[in-house]
Structure 1
Amino acid sequence: MRIFIAILLLGLSSSFSLFAADDKPLEEYAYYGFEPEIVTNYISNRNKLGYVRISVELMVKKPEDLVSLERHDPLLRAAIVEILGNQTEDKVKSLTGKEEIRRECYKMVNRLLEQETGKELVVNLLFTKYLYD
């Protein structure tokens, strides 16, 4: 029964076009997630080591750009780890600090991609998981 419903829904969805009301094609965004999650230390105010564990998703306009992201995954991951490792405990644990870190990672990722590919591929960078201690 589930297969029948899935086929029916697939048939219905294929009959609708990917156009907005004004007949312009809709954007096709794609997401690239770093696997495994990124875990690193940060500068702690206490005598014990602080760590942050995040899941990062990069949003691109074209699904074809995912190949470039996969190719440059180690470079991008290392840049994000370096940014996180240079943060203070107060910044890591505050909402405004988290947003500043996200923006800094976004800018660095695009800067590196522009150096490597000649264009900024990432439309947005999202932290889908953000845990710290």
Structure 2
Amino acid sequence: MKFVYRWLVCLSLSLPLLAHSQEATNPNFAYFGFEPDIITNYISTGKKLGYVRLTAEVMVEDQSDLSSIEHHAPLIRDTIIEILGRQSEDDIKSLNGRETIRQMCEEAINDLLVQETGKKLVRKLLFTKYIYQ
């Protein structure tokens, strides 16, 4: 019993050190949100018009990259809109399809940024709001 108690005490004392060491490796993560929301149509069946509205944010590894993201924001928005507009209704409405779309957008944005800036800036693309009709 004493061993378990000592182990728990040691573990509880070491957790703040582990958290601090993880923060020290990448303390400069930053986020850029696209305003206003991205709204576009998608391919739907029949005569019904479908649209999707989303809020997107990108995570960059260094705050100094935010100025490049802000400068290229119109190109990034256009890339997301173009990819969304080519998707089927099933892909837009399914969870797996949404994740696939997010990954396609993230890859396309990084490809675009490599062409424009010479480096991959986006660590992660997040859809923080996702509404479809």
Q: Name the TM-score class by shorter chain.
A: 0.7 to 0.9
Q: Which residue in 1 is equivalent to 2:68? A: 68
**Partner amino acid, structure 2, of 1:50:** G
On the 8 A contact 1:20/1:26 being kept in 2, the answer is no
CA-to-partner distance for each residue in 1:35-77, whole Å, 9 max, x for gaps?
Answer: 1000000000132100000000000011110100010011110
The separation in 2 between residues aligned to 1:23 and 1:84, in whole angstroms, is 35
Q: Which residue in 1 is equivalent to 2:86? A: 86
1:25 CA displacement: 4.4
* RMSD of aligned residue pairs (Cα, Å): 1.7
**Partner amino acid, structure 2, of 1:71:** H
The separation in 2 between residues aligned to 1:43 and 1:23, in whole angstroms, is 43
Q: Which residue in 2 is equivalent to 1:77? A: 77
The separation in 2 between residues aligned to 1:115 and 1:26, in whole angstroms, is 25
The separation in 2 between residues aligned to 1:101 and 1:22, in whole angstroms, is 30
Q: Which runs of 5+ in 1 are unaligned?
A: 1-18
Q: Which residue in 2 is equivalent to 1:34? A: 34
The separation in 1 between residues aligned to 2:70 and 2:45, in whole angstroms, is 36
User: Greater Rg, structure 1 or structure 2?
Assistant: 2
The separation in 1 between residues aligned to 2:29 and 2:23, in whole angstroms, is 18
The separation in 2 between residues aligned to 1:66 and 1:48, in whole angstroms, is 39
Counterparts of 1:1-133 in structure 2, within 5 Å, are 20-21=20-21, 24-133=24-133
On the 8 A contact 1:58/1:126 being kept in 2, the answer is yes
Q: Number of aligned pairs?
A: 115
Q: Which runs of 4+ in 1 moved over 3 A?
A: 21-26
Higher share of residues assigned helix: 2
The separation in 2 between residues aligned to 1:97 and 1:68, in whole angstroms, is 29
Q: Which runs of 5+ in 2 are unaligned?
A: 1-18
The separation in 2 between residues aligned to 1:127 and 1:27, in whole angstroms, is 23
The separation in 1 between residues aligned to 2:108 and 2:72, in whole angstroms, is 13
On the 8 A contact 1:30/1:66 being kept in 2, the answer is yes
